[in-house]
Structure 1
Amino acid sequence: MLPQTITPKPVRPVPFAALMQTALSATEHVPAPVAAAATVGAPLRRTVLVSELATRSAANAVGTAQLLAANPDSRIIDELCEMQGAFAKQLWKIDQDWRAGLMRIYEGSLSLRRANTVSKVVEQDFNLIGQYGDLVTNCMTSVATLVENTNVGYSYWLAKKIEAAKAAAAA
């Protein structure tokens, strides 16, 4: 018997303003779930941390839109471009490290042809697998660190710019 297919319900489009308001509302409620999840297991903690990062990113997007709408200053846009350039430069370095690591693994795989016993082939195979695992771990850790640091740094920069814009408007 074939399993029944379930037709998904259509998703209603949400206006951009409502989406941003939801993101802002979500940022106000993050600390309680994060604090509550501090005692849970690793899988849930990982989910909470990723959710917190996504929430901070959404709040940054909303804050950026508000800042640029209220104060479209060319200096702010220049600083945004500089930050994007620095981020791209770091991603480029991570990519270069990834490619260099893959090349080392490839070169190591060529030496498998020189092995003359099964035990040496097995040893070299698992050595290459371990090297690949290390390369993936290092690359993913570097990307996650870059995203987290950029997100936190950008939040700080954005808060300072919003404060300055509010102070200028009040004066």
Structure 2
Amino acid sequence: MTLTTATPLERALVEEATKKSGLVWVRGAGPARALWHVWHEGAVLLVGDGPGEQPLPGLVAGERAEVTVRGKDKGARVVGWVADIEELAPDSPEWEAAVAELKGKRLNAPDAETMPRRWARECRVLRLVPAGSVLPVPDGSLAAEPLPTAATTRQAAPEGLPKLLLRRKDRKPRG
């Protein structure tokens, strides 16, 4: 399924923004998580749920997820869209193509040569396919409110400190 109800401009926005972003926020059946991904053949590819890989909780094949793409420069929300979740079967042609793309983008892998075999044994490879038009931009911030606390991180500077700092600047070098 593709972005059938989306306009050509929306489809282009989803593809370009997602390609350029190194990170997407994905919400399945639970809270949204920041995940690294690769855009390949019209969908987001994810690998995880194995030792040393990102967790993919709440992302179940056959269900839908909400994807929020952030801008690479400022980290601000660029676009949000709904995706159908597909789990690729290990060693299938689709899985092989996905793993080839993911392997090239996986940073700091301790086992770069044997990584595809490990992914086949221990991880899940998911494909998030856009399904519908883009999501409306929400009103207000989506940031979680900080928990109330008595802790403080800012205290007034000691009275003499500004004088000490200014005096050092005015000192003449010894010659």
TM-score, L = length of structure 1: 0.21
Greater strand content: 2
TM-score, L = length of structure 2: 0.21
